[in-house]
Amino acid sequence: MMLLKLVAILLVFEASSASDCVKRTYAGDSFVCVCNAAKCDTLNIEKTVQPGYIAIYDSDQKTSRLDKTVVPVDEIKSRLYLNNEFTLNVNASDLKQKILGFGGTLTDGAAINIATLSDDLVKQLMNGYFGENGLEYNIARVPVGGSDSSVRAYSLDDTELDFDLEHFSLADEDIKYKLPLLKLALQLNPKFRAFGSAWSAPAWMKTNHALNGNGGLIWKPGDVYYKLWAKYYVKYLNAYLDKGFKFWGLTTENEPAEGIGGSIFNALALTPEQIRDWVKLDLGPALKAAACLDDPEAASYVSGIAYHWYSRNYPSSYQTLASIHDRYPDYFLLSSEAGWTGVASKYLGDWGRAEGYAIDILEGLQHWSTGWTDWTLAVDTAGGPNWAKNWVDSTIVINATSQEYYKNPMYYAMAHFTKFLPIGSTRVGSNVVNAPANVHTTSFITPNNTMVLILINTNNDHIDLTINGFAKVPVVTTLKPRSFRTMVISL
């Protein structure tokens, strides 16, 4: 065993740390990386790999955050541990879906939290999400009007019976907080795009006359209130366009089931049939009349299915995604919200939450999803602000009092995907033999003809595996306990 360890060390061509994390341990079972005016780690990762070598990036519960090793392909035949019956077979000619992107949600609360930092820290944090040396997010979801992640309950037209929407206007939260950050994200990443989602129609359009609770739109699709709701969306898109920002897309709404069940926060109850008919009779025609669909490229993105992770149950919920793809192969699948609940300060450094993110992203991709959108980009240490007291966790937690913020392990789980799978990356087929429990794998080819493997081990033991179809020779590698690994090779 000691000899095998020594051989493996000698075969490493290059080793380095991808970041310079200032570690701090709180209540969680791992650590956060602390960012302030004096210090903040970056993800300055060289994505090209010299022919004949494999670049390996590791993160684990106890020590590493995207630590890099470069190993010669022809010499990666030794292993550190026994029981190497686990085999991953990659088929680079079996092309699947393409990546649309990864990102998070710019809620009112996130934007307000970010604004509590100094100007320099705001730029630093946004670079950490959207910049070349950050996660390189290329998607943001934006609530249309208020959500639970707001300091108040509101819509963009709360004037009773305003059937001409003459009093429709963007909120202070849009103009003062969200718009500047959206424009900054676009400056940091030219491929950045955003889509809007409304939590609720104005209360006066709803059967219960409230933003929350159990209430849908008055009357039925094709009637005045449904047409007003479609017009509301058009006015929102145009209002942002007038302020210099163009949206890429929309979802029909946020979580209609919440409204049906009676939500504590903003929600709108609509059945699948009502959504279908509203799109057909009201929203689609309104967008077309407003020239929102004149651009052929924009029109091509209209047909997609957004889903959230809250009812996920491995593996059945992911098999459902595959079934939806089989039934509607021309519609892309996109995870549009995911996140953990609870007071954020109680979970600082929680590795299990990072594993939950990584598994959901990977298994979604393995079952035809085209990307993944995190929930709110930043919370305070309480998990807010949130007018409904629906406290949540986040990849980044801000401490305005000390003018610092904390990158949770979830941030680095995201990096194993976002840094290596740019828009247009294509999943390729693979299968496993003798796979142990709690190990997950996926494989992609990027537009620059690089193959990327992403491997997750949530066991407390090392896992050996042999990989066929990744390099010209079988590759034997070992996953550390409770770890994520991304492996990169030029084809």
| 90 strand-pairing partners | 430
- Residue spans of the domains in the chain: they are 2-21+53-98+425-490, 101-418
CA 316 → CA 100, 329, 360, 427, 439, distances in Å?
Answer: 24, 19, 12, 21, 16
DSSP H helices in 367-396: none
274 is written with which tokens?
């009502």
Give me the pLDDT at residue 9, please: 33
Question: Which positions are annotated as active-site residues?
Answer: 255, 337
Give me the pLDDT at residue 300, please: 44
Give me the pLDDT at residue 225, please: 97
Return contacts of 432-438, CB within 8 angstroms, 24+ apart: 432/86, 432/87, 432/88, 432/89, 433/85, 433/86, 433/87, 433/89, 434/85, 434/86, 434/87, 435/86, 435/88, 436/86, 436/463
Give me the pLDDT at residue 83, please: 58
Torsion angles phi and psi, residue 208, rounded to 5: -95, 0
State the CB neighbour count (10 A cutoff) for residue 449. 8
Fold of 2-21+53-98+425-490: Immunoglobulin-like (2.60.40)
Looking only at the bridges linking them, the beta strands covering 483-490 and 53-60 are antiparallel
pTM, whole model, 2 decimals?
A: 0.93
* Sequence-separated (6 or more) residues with CB below 8 Å from residue 311: 317
Give me the pLDDT at residue 12, please: 43
State the CB neighbour count (10 A cutoff) for residue 381. 17
**Cα separation, 221 vs 278, whole angstroms:** 5
Give me the pLDDT at residue 291, please: 74
Residues of the chain with pLDDT under 50: 1-13, 15, 78, 80, 298, 300-301
What letter would DSSP give residue 436? P
**Cα separation, 53 vs 31, whole angstroms:** 31
Give me the pLDDT at residue 77, please: 58
Give me the pLDDT at residue 2, please: 33
Going through 36-124 in order, the beta strands assigned E by DSSP cover: 53-60, 67-72, 87-98, 101-105
* Sequence-separated (6 or more) residues with CB below 8 Å from residue 414: 102, 135, 357, 361, 374, 395
Tell which CATH classification among 3.40.50.1010, 3.40.50.300, 3.20.20.80, 1.20.1250.20 matches the domain 101-418: 3.20.20.80
